[in-house]
Amino acid sequence: MSNTFTYQTEQFADVKILRYQVPEFEKLNLRQKQLIYFLAEAARCGRDILFDQNNKYNLRIRRTLEAIVKSYDGDRESENFKSFLVYTKRVWFSNGIHHHYSMDKFLPEFDEEYFGELLANSNPDLLPFGEDIIELMNQLVPVIFEENVEAKRVVLNPDLDLIADSANNYYEGVSQEEVEKFYASADKGDPEKPLSIGLNSKLIKENGELIEKVWKIGGMYSAALEKVVYWLEKAVEVADSDLQKQSLIKLIDFYKTGDLTTFDEYSILWVKDLDAHVDVVNGFIEVYGDALAFKASWESVVNFKDIEATKRTEIISDNAQWFEDNSPVDDRFKKDEVKGVSAKVITVAMLGGDCHPATPIGINLPNAEWIRKEHGSKSVTIDNVTHAYHQSSLKSGMLEEFAYSDEEIARAKEHGYLGGNLHTDLHECLGHGSGQLLQGVGVDALKNYHSTLEEARADLFALYYMMEPKMLEIGLMPNLDVAKAEYDGYIRNGLMTQLTRIELGKDIEESHMRNRQLIAKWVFERGEHAIEKVMKEGKTFFVVKDYEKLRELFGELLAEVQRIKSEGDFEAGKALVEDYAVKVDLNLHKEVKERFEKLNLAAYAGFINPDYHPVIENDEIIDVEISYPMDFSEQMLEYSEKYSFLPHVN
Ligand code: ZN
């Protein structure tokens, strides 16, 4: 990739905006380019859905902010207006008013009086309720400015009502107890092949009765889903394989009917399709936005295979059974036969919904446990995105600040990129797919601790095998320094650097972060000789002393977390998470924040998508050209203009 490409375009609040390149796009054939173009359109048509899922006021707020951005005719140079722009960009970045990672509502740095002034001097035709600014203010001012209104998108604190106290829009007028009861008695179909009940609906109480408003054409979110389907239907015509064609047809059928059996059928076709070079995730997929993990947010990732880098993951999946057989977990919890672990490295062509602007770096789907067991899963590492992260981080100064020795820094610079990518490969390709539940254990047994423990299980699997001599034998790494760099980085991040993302005095909430602290803290406390806490010039460092010992500890914890999952041991899972993953050492936290602030870096990153332009001749697409926009705000305004289909209230 070209060195002159601009990766970072701007930084505001705690985020930086990056761009990613799509290498090799030009080399795809015309049909594949058309396919990417159609899928990329579909990927953006569901954007409003995610805003509405995150909070029922989000669309009204976003549209109000955009009306001001476009038409405010007062002073645009004032500090207040600059604060307004930062707030607006944060709403775009987070797909709503809550921080994309901490889930806390963020507050603007201007007051409601100024908000009124902005509204009064903007074009009312662009505002959600036209001339009726009073009504707009009545609805939005408490939500935007009052700290305790819609305070947290996903509440995970067990002392609260995980449903009623969460500000997401997956439920309305119902309590945690009611939701648990409702889904405990819901018809899951064949017990061997339980449906992902609740996945694609909002649960509300109407006249004292609980009913699901299903997200489908003709149901909730219909207007956006119709557009998604419009583009998917075009994609069917140029599909990259026969299975892909069938799976897209099933997906369309699912959007039309909302039928969860159809969704499972789609997922099976999708997971079996290994021939298509261009691939897509499009749908209601991940459940992190729901404390009880029933409801899935809408997302899309359009991508194609990076053939060269995929050789790495092919080695991993070819050896999947060996990894399963030799893992340190109890034999009862292992899969006798690991099925179809397909892993590939991909180049992302378009991110949408819950994968944009912030994006995962690896994906492993489908989520339905029984499909994974019977049909396997598809696992991907997103190379062009990690490459962009890596490029933008090289000169950040983080390593120099938080790594203990020159040796550790040099190792990280030389091997950290491969170490990180291999970790992601192992995590996605083997970790999530490994192990099995004992007969009769439900997939929801770990409730609100499920996500953290599941991430921990996948991370531990990766960490345990990083130091495995077989990794050298099968050519995955040149030497164990790659593993050492990954161990150093993992401990550093889990115990220190990820704390830069947490507000002082707050607990850790997000499940991937909880998982990392859980693991790092557990092995640190267990292994006196494995990791040492060292003070140097008043600064804290965690230094790995014995990599072999550390590996053993990862294995020990992996065995325990797998046992908890396989047996559905809620109490033990809860204890692990509450004891290790949630609370932060305040003094250390303060120190880390101070050291980080001096570097003037953003804790989070998100991406500007490329644009695709069809070249049309005689009504036919004869080519598709790619361009790389530079301005985040322009892209967000353009998306809201072109891909906004839902009413203010759904
Ligand atoms: Zn994961």
pLDDT band per the 50, 70, 90 thresholds, residue 344 = confident
Model confidence at 110: pLDDT above 50: yes
Spatial separation of the C-alpha atoms in residues 518 and 493, rounded to whole Å:
12
Q: Considering only CA atoms, which of 474, 594, 588, 466 is closest in space to residue 535?
A: 588
- Residue 353 near residue 46, CB atoms below 8 Å: yes
| Residues 582 and 636 both lie in one domain | no
What is the C-alpha separation between 17 and 358, in angstroms, rounded? 9
Centre of ligand 1 from the C-alpha of residue 26, in Å:
31
Q: Are 80 and 110 in contact (CB under 8 A)?
A: yes
Q: Hey, what amino acid is at 437?
A: L
Is the residue at 108 inside a domain?
yes
**What separation in Å is there between the alpha carbon of 379 and the centre of ligand 1?**
10
Query: What are the angstrom distances between the C-alpha of 20 and each of 9, 249, 261?
Result: 11, 30, 36
CA 431 to ligand 1 centroid distance, Å: 8
- The answer on 632 and 575 residing in a single domain is no
Cβ contact 543:531 at 8 Å: yes
Are residues 507 and 637 located together in one domain of the fold? no
Residue 506 lies in a domain: yes
Residue 3 has pLDDT above 70, yes or no: no
Instruction: Evaluate the CA torsion angle 490, 495, 496, 500 in order and state its sign.
Output: positive
- Residue 360 belongs to a domain: yes
Are 586 and 505 a contacting pair, CB within 8 Å?
yes
Same structural domain for residues 492 and 637? no
Q: Find the 455 Cα to ligand 1 centroid distance in Å.
A: 5
For the chain, give the percent of residues with pLDDT over 70.
99
Ligand 1 centroid vs 196 CA: distance in angstroms?
A: 19
How far is the centre of ligand 1, averaged over its atoms, from the C-alpha of 490 (Å)?
Answer: 15
By CB atoms closer than 10 A (0-12, 13-18, 19+), residue 505 is: exposed
Retrieve residue 379's tokens: 């696992």
Pick the range with the lowest mean pLDDT from 23-37, 333-347, 608-622: 333-347
Centroid of ligand 1 to alpha carbon of 236 (angstroms) = 30
Give 10-33 pLDDT, tens digit per residue.
999 999 999 999 999 999 999 999
Question: How much is the pLDDT for 154?
Answer: 97
Q: Are 22 and 108 in contact (CB under 8 A)?
A: no
Query: How many alpha carbons fall within 13 Å on the CB side of residue 569?
Result: 13
> H or E segment at 429?
none
Same domain, 626 and 584: no
For residue 629, the CA-to-ligand 1 centroid distance in Å is 30
Ligand 1 centroid vs 212 CA: distance in angstroms? 29
Residue 7 scores a pLDDT above 80: yes
- Is pLDDT at 120 greater than 80 in this prediction? yes
Q: Are residues 16 and 131 in the same domain?
A: yes
What's the structural domain count of the chain? Answer: 2
Q: What is the pLDDT of residue 183?
A: 97
Strand partners, 31: none
Q: What is the pLDDT of residue 583?
A: 97
Residue 166 lies in a domain: no
- Euclidean distance between CA atoms 411 and 430, whole angstroms: 26
Contact indicator for 18, 392 with CB cutoff of 8 Å: yes
Whether 1 shows a pLDDT value over 80: the answer reads no
Interval between CA 428 and ligand 1 midpoint (Å): 6
Q: What pLDDT score does 2 carry?
A: 46
Task: Tell me what the pLDDT averaged over the chain comes to.
Answer: 95
Residue 575 included in any domain: yes
Q: Are residues 502 and 373 in the same domain?
A: yes
Strand, helix or coil for residue 480? coil
Q: Inform me whether the pLDDT recorded for 339 exceeds 80.
A: no
Cis ω before 478 (30° cut-off from 0)? no
**For position 392, what pLDDT does the model report?**
84
DSSP summary character for residue 331 = G
Instruction: Looking at the structure, tell me whether residues 522 and 636 fall in a common domain.
Output: no
How far away, in angstroms, is 421 Cα from ligand 1 center? 13
pLDDT band at 288 (very low <50, low <70, confident <90, very high): very high
Q: How confident is the model at residue 340 (pLDDT cuts 50, 70, 90)?
A: low
First-to-last CA distance in the chain?
Answer: 43
Instruction: For residue 364, report the distance from its CA to the centre of ligand 1, in Å.
Output: 7
Q: Mind listing the pLDDT tens digit for each residue in 519-570?
A: 999 999 997 789 999 999 999 999 999 999 999 999 999 999 999 999 999 9
Q: 470 C-alpha to center of ligand 1: Å?
A: 23
Measured in angstroms, how far is the CA atom of residue 288 from the centroid of ligand 1?
A: 11
- 33-65 tens-digit pLDDT: 999 999 999 999 999 999 999 999 999 999 999
Distance of CA 362 from the midpoint of ligand 1 (Å)? 8
Same domain, 350 and 474: yes
Domain residue limits at 624: 8-21+33-152+619-642
Q: Which tens digits make up the pLDDT trace of 359-412? A: 998 888 999 999 988 998 888 889 999 989 888 877 789 999 999 999 999 999
Distance from Cα 613 to the centre of ligand 1, integer Å: 34
Both 530 and 577 in a single domain?
A: yes
